[in-house]
Amino acid sequence: MSEIKKLGAILKEKNIKISGAESCTGGMVAAELTSVDGISTVFNESFVTYSNDAKHRNLGVSLSTLEKFGAVSEECAREMAEGAAARSGADIAFSVTGIAGPAGGTAEKPVGTVCFGVFFKGKTVTTTAHFKGDRESVRRSAVDFVINLMLSLV
């Protein structure tokens, strides 16, 4: 059984409502979730917030967080996940924000840097990963990573 099917089965079995906020993955995690038969019982909505303005307007990411830490930061990922949970009423909410490339990287945040957040049971876990490869492989790796992160928490 694939990881997304495992996650979907657990969410449905435990009736855990899920939502998410995606930037660099552009809805790929949500697309994976919708591949699970019957997921509509626990998945109502998700947010694709590619710009900083969208992160602020739709998820409540603070302008000071964006200014001080940037969109590619665990601080932003935390606020994205918490904002998605608050706005959707979900029990678990994930976030993905990063630099898929090929441009946009810096010395401190090179291409392939992706930050994640998962809000669950009133707590938010954040982490950062660095993936190698082209834009699509970075995005695909980020999707797989956040699915496995959620599996470790539910």
Percentage of residues in the chain having pLDDT higher than 70: 99
Phi-psi region at 15: left, alpha or beta (left = phi > 0; alpha = psi -120 to 50)? left
pLDDT at residue 44, rounded to an integer: 92
Residues 86 and 92 sit within 8 Å (Cβ to Cβ): no
Per-residue pLDDT band for 102 (boundaries 50, 70, 90) equals: very high
Rounded CA-CA distance 5/147 in Å is 10
Domains and CATH numbers, the chain: 3-153 (3.90.950.20)
Specify the pLDDT at position 52: 97
Q: What is the pLDDT of residues 132-148, one digit of tens each?
A: 999 999 999 999 999 99
To the nearest whole number, what is the mean pLDDT of the chain? 97
pLDDT digits (tens, 9 = 90+) for 9-19: 999 999 999 99
Let me know if 3 is exposed, middle or buried by CB neighbors in 10 A (0-12, 13-18, 19+).
middle
Nearest to 74 by CA among 47, 51, 95: 95
